[in-house]
Chains A and B, each alone.
Chain A
């Protein structure tokens, strides 16, 4: 089910659960339903000749999946992995991928109507890649449209 639909449903209850993850200066939000799992960063194997925004591949329960660097996707820097780093595993377009995160916040309940349509450009990211932004008292969450961001056409491998 798309996030939008889930949100529509949740709007009856008015709230949904989300996690936030940090990359560079920004905090990105993901509805909990979109997240398959969150793991501590295993060894990331670099893939030579792969695009910049693919940090490499990792072993997830015996399957080899790519790890994305969101910051690199949008050319706004690079995700720095340290002790707090995590990989947020999502399933998008029938593909399991990992998103590199410098840190991950706890699950929060958010009012659905706190997620507003994004302005044309948010922190260097064009609106078409965003599902919305949530302005909360203490933070500002950017909700990515993962299907678009990770879609093969956008991020096709070099030939």
Chain B
């Protein structure tokens, strides 16, 4: 094998990993809508491409299993077989084995024996169902006796050779009964390789021991020689008979549509690049640091203004830093976009779980999804998968026990609003016990998510709010006492300054006037028990909405708008509702991000 095999393995992996995922997803969709022809077509096309890639890369077991899956899917398509649970179970299992095998292959191992088992079990199944002739052989006896299996690479090689003026011949060698078939095979190939190019063989090179069954070897050979000259190369007592015929590139019964798809797929993948998640992580970290660093410039500009009283230099620095901020934002958006993946893959895992529950119980339970295209950071999606599978499992278990016989539906949806993504799971009937659900609250908090339960008379729902990414958000930074806090800008309506004189008291609660109406005030210092007691002449106020009414949060000073990288605080602090994460400031300090709504609802210092 030449060195290019390593390259071929890598390309194989890259093509097939995604396709297998797609096929897995399609299978679940087909199970839900067995009459949807388009789904079936997509399925078969994908499996067909997998088969071709595997064959070219030399993973023949893999290709064979893919071939059988294609056959079976075709039987469904043509109505020869029904969409039974067994049908989907078998296919699902086969796909799983292929996914595991892919991992083994990329780790440098040989194709696992499980592939052979799956293949043989398919053959048995199809035999039983009467779909194939009883003498279709299982693995070990050679597959597809007479046609060379040519993948895209082979076709390209053939075209190149043809251009070069090389002649293509099919060399059939019959091996003497008393010879060692494998050794004979090797002799043939060695001799031919000295003289020209071996494009492909039957049986495939990594299956040379199959010659034991047939005592035949066929080689597609390209070179300058004539048929007679080739024949002359192969003289050995082991070779009983050597037939050489001109090879005419005859592609198998390919559907023009299928062919088109195959040609398109590799081209499409040329426009994309695979990247290690770590590289994206690193980039995102760097962007985060850029942002923090940039806010230092704002601070320095501030100091120029206040301490050095140089407004001009401050202005220039501010302008430069603003532009830097703009560029950094663009960079950040780009990288975050690169990390976004659709939640559909989460739904797929959930569907599988629901399907399992459905099989285990006697009830038919179905997961209905919407908002599949909503996107989330890949890291979050990875972290969420286990949690959501557990959550939907608990819901499905309850659904299974509910009364009645009809199909139970569990609805799950995903939607994006502002900086957050909301995932909901809805079901009718009784809800799972709170203890079961509590198990996921802590790990959820660790990734910045929050779970809320909504109970109605005959149904319930779980709502999970998540940050779109380990996010960068704009905030309003404020100072109270010696402490710096941040309010997400999306909750801030406006800011204003008030003097002590403008604050009056209504039934013990501080209020001020805003555009002719009373504005309830909450002193942040009191809400957070900030140490130190300083009555000032004037304060700044951050006005937020609370239950459709404006409320003013009083702070000592407004620092200004900033963009910050959210650092989750961890599950230890998840019980503190008033604090929603933290941020690292330009000078290295940690500032806490506050939840205005919680502050207000908790406090007793309001006139609302």
A59 touches B584 (CB 8 A): yes
B483 touches A157 (CB 8 A): no
Give the residues in chain A near B527, CB-CB below 8 Å.
48
How does the 8 Å CB contact mask read for A119-156 relative to B, with 1 for contact and 0 for none? 00000000000000000000000000000000010001
Can you offer 19 A-B residue contacts whose CB atoms are under 8 A? A43-B588, A43-B589, A45-B483, A45-B589, A45-B591, A47-B573, A49-B528, A57-B582, A63-B567, A64-B568, A64-B582, A64-B590, A66-B570, A66-B572, A66-B573, A152-B571, A152-B572, A156-B575, A157-B575
B584 touches A47 (CB 8 A): no
Which of B555-608 touch A at CB < 8 Å? 567-576, 578-579, 582, 584, 588-592
- A50 within 8 Å of B (CB atoms): yes
CA distance A123 to B582 in the complex (A): 36
Give the residues in chain B near A47, CB-CB below 8 Å.
569, 573, 576, 579, 592
How does the 8 Å CB contact mask read for B481-496 relative to A, with 1 for contact and 0 for none? 0010000000000000
Give the residues in chain B near A58, CB-CB below 8 Å.
590
- B84 within 8 Å of A (CB atoms): no
- A42 within 8 Å of B (CB atoms): yes
A-B pairs with CB below 8 Å: how many? 68
A49 touches B578 (CB 8 A): yes
- A158 within 8 Å of B (CB atoms): yes
- B529 within 8 Å of A (CB atoms): yes
Closest-CB distance, B33 to chain A (whole angstroms): 44
Give the residues in chain A near B578, CB-CB below 8 Å.
48-49
CA distance A53 to B578 in the complex (A): 19
Closest-CB distance, B18 to chain A (whole angstroms): 33
B584 touches A48 (CB 8 A): no
Which of A89-124 touch B at CB < 8 Å? 95
Give the residues in chain A near B576, CB-CB below 8 Å.
47-50, 157-158
Chain A residues touching B, range:
20 to 34
A57 touches B590 (CB 8 A): yes
A62 touches B584 (CB 8 A): yes
Give the residues in chain A near B569, CB-CB below 8 Å.
47, 57, 64
A49 touches B579 (CB 8 A): yes
- Closest B residue, CB atoms, query A48: B528
CA distance A43 to B582 in the complex (A): 14
- A159 within 8 Å of B (CB atoms): yes
Q: A57-B582, A59-B584, A157-B576 are in contact. List 9 more A-B contacts (CB 8 A).
A: A45-B589, A45-B591, A47-B576, A48-B579, A49-B576, A58-B590, A64-B584, A157-B574, A159-B575
Which of A52-108 touch B at CB < 8 Å? 54, 57-59, 62-64, 66, 95
| Shortest Cβ-Cβ A-B pairs, 7 listed | A157-B575, A48-B528, A45-B590, A64-B567, A43-B589, A49-B576, A64-B582
CA distance A99 to B527 in the complex (A): 27
CA distance A66 to B571 in the complex (A): 11
- Closest A residue, CB atoms, query B524: A48
A158 touches B575 (CB 8 A): yes
- A6 within 8 Å of B (CB atoms): no
- Closest A residue, CB atoms, query B568: A64
CA distance A58 to B587 in the complex (A): 12
B483 touches A46 (CB 8 A): yes
B570 touches A95 (CB 8 A): yes
- Closest A residue, CB atoms, query B285: A62
Closest-CB distance, A40 to chain B (whole angstroms): 12
CA distance A64 to B567 in the complex (A): 7
Give the residues in chain B near A46, CB-CB below 8 Å.
483, 531
Give the residues in chain B near A156, CB-CB below 8 Å.
575
- Closest B residue, CB atoms, query A56: B590
CA distance A109 to B52 in the complex (A): 66
CA distance A48 to B603 in the complex (A): 13
CA distance A159 to B578 in the complex (A): 11
How does the 8 Å CB contact mask read for B527-558 relative to A, with 1 for contact and 0 for none? 11111000000000000000000000000000
- Closest B residue, CB atoms, query A46: B483
How does the 8 Å CB contact mask read for A29-52 relative to B, with 1 for contact and 0 for none? 000000000000011011111100
How does the 8 Å CB contact mask read for B283-325 relative to A, with 1 for contact and 0 for none? 0010001000000000000000000000000000000000000
CA distance A152 to B442 in the complex (A): 11
Give the residues in chain B near A48, CB-CB below 8 Å.
527-530, 576, 578-579, 592
Give the residues in chain A near B483, CB-CB below 8 Å.
45-46
A42 touches B588 (CB 8 A): yes
CA distance A158 to B588 in the complex (A): 28
CA distance A156 to B569 in the complex (A): 14
Give the residues in chain A near B588, CB-CB below 8 Å.
42-43, 59
Give the residues in chain B near A54, CB-CB below 8 Å.
572
Closest-CB distance, A60 to chain B (whole angstroms): 10
Closest-CB distance, B281 to chain A (whole angstroms): 13
Which of A49, A59, A152 interacts with B590 by CB under 8 Å? Answer: A59
Give the residues in chain B near A42, CB-CB below 8 Å.
588-589
CA distance A152 to B529 in the complex (A): 25
Which of B165-211 touch A at CB < 8 Å? none
Closest-CB distance, B80 to chain A (whole angstroms): 54
CA distance A48 to B569 in the complex (A): 13
B575 touches A45 (CB 8 A): no
- Closest A residue, CB atoms, query B581: A64
Closest-CB distance, A70 to chain B (whole angstroms): 16
Give the residues in chain A near B570, CB-CB below 8 Å.
64, 66, 95
A45 touches B529 (CB 8 A): no
CA distance A63 to B568 in the complex (A): 9
Give the residues in chain B near A66, CB-CB below 8 Å.
570, 572-573
Give the residues in chain A near B285, CB-CB below 8 Å.
62
CA distance A138 to B576 in the complex (A): 44
Closest-CB distance, A146 to chain B (whole angstroms): 15
Give the residues in chain B near A59, CB-CB below 8 Å.
584, 588-590
B529 touches A157 (CB 8 A): no
CA distance A95 to B579 in the complex (A): 20
CA distance A48 to B576 in the complex (A): 8
Closest-CB distance, A127 to chain B (whole angstroms): 25
* B568, B576, B579 interface centre (most CB from chain A within 10 Å): B576
CA distance A62 to B583 in the complex (A): 10
Give the residues in chain B near A63, CB-CB below 8 Å.
567
- Closest B residue, CB atoms, query A58: B590
* A48, A59, A63 interface centre (most CB from chain B within 10 Å): A48
Give the residues in chain B near A49, CB-CB below 8 Å.
528, 576, 578-579
- Closest A residue, CB atoms, query B575: A157
- Closest B residue, CB atoms, query A62: B584
- Closest A residue, CB atoms, query B289: A62
- Closest A residue, CB atoms, query B567: A64
Give the residues in chain B near A159, CB-CB below 8 Å.
575
Q: Decide: A50 near B573, CB < 8 A? Known: A57-B582, A62-B584.
A: yes
